[in-house]
A and B are shown apart, each in its own frame.
Chain A
Amino acid sequence: MSILHTVNKSTYERDTLEACVRLAAKGGSVLLIEDGVYSAMSGGNKSSVIENAKDLSFYVLGPDIKARGLGEDRLIDGIKVVDYKGFVELTVSNDSVTAWL
């Protein structure tokens, strides 16, 4: 079984991403959406939350990055950008979806 986790909070304001990383089994995928995309930026004092979670694959929703004026070139290395179509594909390629609210 593999899970697609969605996180929609900035890690600078809430601990949602930390909870997801702590409770996601190895091999899981995490998609950052809405304000969750702020957690995908490199060079911040919370970037380590993602950088240290080596057992998980991270994705970020492109339209939400663009809406917030964040450049893809500033993402933490290894994070993949997907559009809504890619979001749907991730829900299909994983066995279930867990939203971290």
Chain B
Amino acid sequence: MKFSIQVSEGPYNHESSVTAINFVKAAVEAGHDIFRVFFYHDGVNNGTNYATPPQDDMNIQKTWSELAAAHDIDLVVCVAAAQRRGIVDEGEMTRNKKDGMNIMDGFRISGLGQLIEAGIESDRLVVFGD
């Protein structure tokens, strides 16, 4: 079965990112496809590579990145939400004249249409948030 996931809260502040990670791992193990994970609201903070969590804690952003690489999962950060919260890729850096970019490997920034498309293309959409 084809799944898409929406993550609506930031990592560390709320359990929802970790629940989503555990759900994605279990779905992949059961042989399902993850079509897309869409990060919205403060969920876009899952896509920063500027975080340095303590070594004895889970690195949530890196875990997403590794999951995406291992299972070819499309990780999409909403552009409107990202612009509000300072998640920047190369295109955004150039367009909005920022000094740097902070998007994690495996993530890309795109529009809200990607969430709707995920709903259309997938058999199930599961939302994790507050």
Contacts and interface: CB of A to CB of B under 8 A. Distances in A.
A101 B22 contact: no
Nearest to A63: B22
B25 interface: yes
Nearest to A94: B124
Interface stretch (A21-29, A40-48, A50-58, A84-92): A84-92
Contacts of B22: 63, 84
Contacts of B16: 8, 34
Given A34-B19, A85-B30, A91-B3, A97 B25 contact: no
Nearest to A83: B26
A63 B25 CA distance: 14
A84 B16 CA distance: 13
B98 interface: no
B127 A88 contact: no
Contact of B126 (A63, A83, A91): A91
A96 interface: yes
A99 interface: yes
A97 to B, nearest CB: 5
A21 B1 CA distance: 28
Contacts of A64: 15, 19
A83 B26 CA distance: 9
A101 B27 contact: no
Interface string A64-95: 10000000000000000001110111011000
A74 B125 CA distance: 32
Given A34-B15, A84-B23, A101 B126 contact: no
Given A85-B29, A88-B27, A88-B30, A97 B19 contact: no
Given A34-B15, A91-B3, A92-B1, A84 B26 contact: yes
29 contacts: A6-B126, A8-B15, A8-B16, A33-B19, A34-B15, A34-B19, A35-B15, A63-B22, A64-B19, A83-B26, A84-B26, A85-B30, A87-B23, A87-B26, A88-B23, A88-B26, A88-B27, A88-B30, A88-B32, A91-B3, A92-B1, A92-B32, A92-B124, A96-B124, A97-B124, A97-B125, A99-B127, A101-B8, A101-B129
